[in-house]
Structure 1
Amino acid sequence: MIDEALIDGEAARQIVEAVPGVVAPHGGPKIVAIDGPSGSGKTSLARAVAADLGCPLVQMDDLYPGWDGLAAAVDLVTDHVLEPLARGERAAYRVWDWEQGDWGRTRTVPPDDVVVLEGCGSSVGRAGEYAALRVWVDADPQERMERGIERDGETYRPHWQRWAAQERALFGADRTAERAELTVRT
């Protein structure tokens, strides 16, 4: 367990150092799945890890089909990103436009040795089967909510509460935190 007061270079360094020792379970790139509840610090950590590794970063925020789409995104990322990459192909997925409430542009991910996959659900179910390294990032629930509201604004509080209920259901059924190889507390 990596216990950090804040996500800093030390947590990213420990993850980067773990990558050479892991194996891609389905071939293709080593997928570093950085998962955990909203507001825990996943995005900051994932950006640091991807920058240190010089590899692509795929963010689940692009794949959720709206505020009620957490569970659906697991199949979307598996079908459109993880499976093609495991076959050595370029992945392509449509990006959810949160303002329009519909699918927007298409983003591609070239095959690479390592890909960082960040976001709620990135190591759940079918998606988790492709993870070479599962990282669980967590923090006190009140702290996470405060971070999210500070980032997104007070008008998003009802969405955050709805999303948190989906997280509890998905992570609880999957036992996601228990299956992580590394845990980061922020």
Structure 2
Amino acid sequence: MTAAKRAYAALARTVIERPPRLGPVRLVAVDGRAGSGKTTFAGRLATALRAEGVAVAELHTDDFLDGWAKLMAWQPRLREWVFEPFREGRAGAFRRYDWAAERLVDTWTPLEVPHTLVVEGVGSASAAVRPDLTLGVFVRAPRELRLARGLERDGEQLRPQWERWMLDEDAHFAADPTADAVDVRADGAPSVEHDPEIEYIMAANG
């Protein structure tokens, strides 16, 4: 490997070797702006953790939002439904936000206490969460690419929502410079040749 390349397997072992800080659970946050590649990074790290034989749960902050209205609406829900039970060694449960119906579903999804919980989403490594983190990651990508990815996924008709959301992200990260406080800063649009299934690229300044 070159100096810019890192293996997900090595990062998984780092998580395992570090102590839990959310009760018995090792909490990993994969933060960054929408469209940066957070979901992909989180999924590949979770895969590497499972390959090491540990029980992993994955959550996405988008599933705890109130649509496009409020960037951090997920935080009190995730804390009450998952973080605090896990802190006490108890199973959690949550209601997922249905983006089509624009409301929380009625059904509660149970969540047993895992070895590692990987949470992906904007603000997942914010100041309020960092004391509980075993590992924090921030994924970066150019603004134009992030918007293009979002519109490809959601459709051009949601451009106004995406543009407003991106402004809200700018305000959030100006107030909470998360990228300066995490353990890993990853490139979500790397030009360095690598095997993306097992390797990630460090951001230029990280």
Do the two structures share a fold, i.e. TM-score over 0.5? yes
Q: Is the 8 A contact 1:91 1:110 kept in 2?
A: yes
Which residue of structure 1 lines up, in the alignment, with residue 30 of structure 2? 34
User: Is the contact between residue 75 and residue 127 of structure 1 (CA under 8 Å) also seen in structure 2?
Assistant: no
Q: Distance in 2 between matches of 1:46 and 1:99?
A: 24
- Is contact 1:74-1:124 (8 Å) kept? no
Q: Residue 112 of structure 1 aligns to which amino acid in structure 2? A: P
**1:72 matched to which residue of 2?**
73
Name the CA distance, whole Å, in 1 between partners of 2:63 and 2:114. Answer: 20
Tell me the residue number matched to 2:47: 51
Are the counterparts in 2 of residues 136 and 183 from structure 1 also a CA contact under 8 Å?
Answer: yes
Structure 1 runs (4+) greater than 4 angstroms displaced: none
Paired letter, 1:47: G
User: Shift of residue 141 of structure 1?
Assistant: 0.8
| In the alignment, structure 1 residue 141 sits paired with structure 2 residue 169 | no
Is the Cα–Cα contact under 8 Å of residues 21 and 27 in structure 2 kept in the other structure? Answer: no
Partner secondary structure for residue 137 of structure 2? strand
RMSD value, Cα = 1.7
Q: Count residues with an aligned counterpart.
A: 180
1:125 Cα deviation from its structure 2 partner: 3.2
Cα deviation, 1:25-71, whole Å, max 9, x if unaligned, reads: 24221011001000010101111111221211011110011101222
**Structure 2: gaps of 5 or more residues:** 51-55, 189-206
- In structure 2, the residue matched to 1:16 is 12
More divergent stretch after superposition (173-182 vs 124-133): 124-133
Aligned AA for 2:94?
A: Y
Larger gyration radius, structure 1 or structure 2: 2
Asked if 1:169 corresponds to 2:165, the answer is: no
Question: Does the 8 Å contact 1:34/1:118 carry over to 2?
Answer: yes
**What is the rounded CA distance, in whole Å, between the counterparts of 2:47 and 2:108 in structure 1?**
23
Q: Is the counterpart of residue 111 in structure 1 residue 132 in structure 2?
A: no
**Partner of residue 183, structure 2:** 181
Q: 1:3: Cα distance to partner? A: 5.1
Q: 1:11–1:154: structure 2 CA closer, same or farther, 3 Å change rule?
A: farther
On the 8 A contact 1:77/1:127 being kept in 2, the answer is no
Unpaired runs of at least 5, structure 1: 5-9
Q: Percent identity?
A: 32
Distance 2:66 2:44 in 1: 26
Question: What does the per-residue CA deviation read over 1:144-186, in whole Å, with 9 as the maximum and x for residues that have no partner?
Answer: 1111111221112111111112211222212211111101012
TM-score, normalising length from structure 1?
0.89
Change (3 A) 1:168 1:114: same
Structure with more helix by fraction: 1
